[in-house]
Amino acid sequence: MISSWTHLWYNLSDWIRTEVFQDFESRMRHTYIIWKSWTGKSVLQVQCASSDIKNDKWIIVIDPHGELVDDILKCVPEKRKKDVVLIDPVNYKNAVSINFLDENDPTKYSNVAEEIIKIMKVLYWEDAIKWVEWQYITNIIKLLLYCPNENQVNEYNKKNWTKFEYLWENYWKTLLDFKQIINDDNYRTYKLIGVEKDYNLLNF
């Protein structure tokens, strides 16, 4: 049974060296590691990760600095190297794209837009942009999330004598298209075709 537990480290008491383990159930109730600098917190995390890897468990490591991940990668045995997925934002040669607008449930569009706005307010000085401008940005992001389906496009063309060509439903659905919403009337109209029940957005 001890092989399925996490090997934390060693305890030295009265010159007796004893291995210290933590059972899996306790790990699943979360473990909070806190102490002052240079006391071995990262070493303990590496040891926990290494123990899990050797016991054929899956782990996820989020490391804002990179040093912890580097140490954990050194502990990966040859048989498990094919299981490693490394996402490194600063590795431009193997960049991983993250589309914040990759959401197809209209009931979540407002939440997605609000979360993006929160990130923008952290990156930029919130007071530097007026409240009205934040409203514009929020609604443009929400509009980007909407993509009309083929039936909506065909119905709109019949009613308005237009010839909008149907594009697959996730076409042009990234923050890179923010500028096009402002500058391209046809593109903005096309996106609005997909908005049916969001009356606040339509009125805006």
CB 99 within 8 Å of CB 174: yes
Could you tell me the residue ranges of all domains in the chain?
A: 2-94, 106-203
Taking the CA of residue 201 as centre, how many other CA atoms within 13 Å lie in the half-sphere pointing to its CB? 24
pTM of the model: 0.58
Predicted confidence at residue 170, as pLDDT, reads 52
d(CA 61, CA 63): 6
> Any idea of the CA torsion for 189, 193, 197, 198, to the nearest 10 degrees?
-30
pLDDT digits (tens, 9 = 90+) for 123-134: 777 677 788 888
The alpha carbon of 114 is separated from its chain's Cα centroid by a whole number of angstroms, namely 15
Predicted confidence at residue 1, as pLDDT, reads 46
pLDDT digits (tens, 9 = 90+) for 49-104: 888 888 888 899 998 887 899 999 999 999 999 999 888 877 878 777 788 888 88
d(CA 186, CA 179): 13
Which structure tokens are listed for 45?
């995390």
pLDDT digits (tens, 9 = 90+) for 149-184: 778 888 888 888 777 776 655 556 788 888 888 888
